[in-house]
Structure 1
Amino acid sequence: MFSEIITKDDLEAFRRSLLNDIQDLLANKKPESKEWLRCADVRRLLKVSTGTVQKLRISGKLKSRKIGGMHFYKLADIENMLSGKG
């Protein structure tokens, strides 16, 4: 049976190579941008509760589309509301 000894230098070289590969992947990754968001996404984006999202929807400040019992919110509408345009 053939065995190979791995040294600390080998492990360090592997670590550096792995970190460089990960950094390259992260640098080339484009952020995923959704056009339509669910309530949970809106809550995270605005840092508000479900009730606040519902109040914004009922008051007409935030438009939604209801599909199959779920409300979906257009990202552009949220950005406009935050910038004061909507």
Structure 2
Amino acid sequence: MPATIITTDDLREFKTELLEEIKSLLDQQSSGTLKQYFKSSDVMEFLQISPGTLQNLRTNGTLPYTKIGGIIYYEAADVQKAMDQHRTHHNSGFRK
């Protein structure tokens, strides 16, 4: 295998390209065009629920999902929406 020599200019060009790609991704995310997805393990950890409870949320339609190649993904906005829809407001009993 022949050796490849990397110059300082090569590294500068790589750095510039990498920074441009990162900037593009951040711009997409801030504009809402880049969606964030979670795997089941992330959702279970975030919501502190069991695999069975997560299955129930999928089955009853509370939490939409996408399955690709045997892996289930949840859109971050859908997880937040489910949290908001099940928020309760009650009087804590404390008086001012």
User: What is the alpha-carbon distance in structure 2 between the residues aligned to residue 62 and residue 75 of structure 1?
Assistant: 10
**SS of the counterpart of 2:56?**
helix
2:59 aligns with 58
Q: TM-score, normalised by structure 2?
A: 0.51
User: What is the alpha-carbon distance in structure 2 between the residues aligned to residue 40 and residue 80 of structure 1?
Assistant: 18
Contiguous gaps of at least 5 residues in structure 2: 1-34, 87-96
Answer yes or no: is 1:81 the counterpart of 2:85. no
Larger radius of gyration: 1
**SS of the counterpart of 1:45?**
helix
- Map Cα deviations across residues 48-76 of structure 1 (whole Å, 9 max, x no partner): 00111111001100000000011100010
Letter of the 2:41 partner, please give it.
Answer: A
Q: TM-score, normalised by structure 1?
A: 0.57
Identity of aligned residues (%): 37
Alpha-carbon RMSD: 1.5
Deviating beyond 3 angstroms after TM superposition, the runs of 4 or more aligned structure 1 residues are none
**Count of residues paired in the alignment:** 52
Letter of the 1:56 partner, please give it.
Answer: L
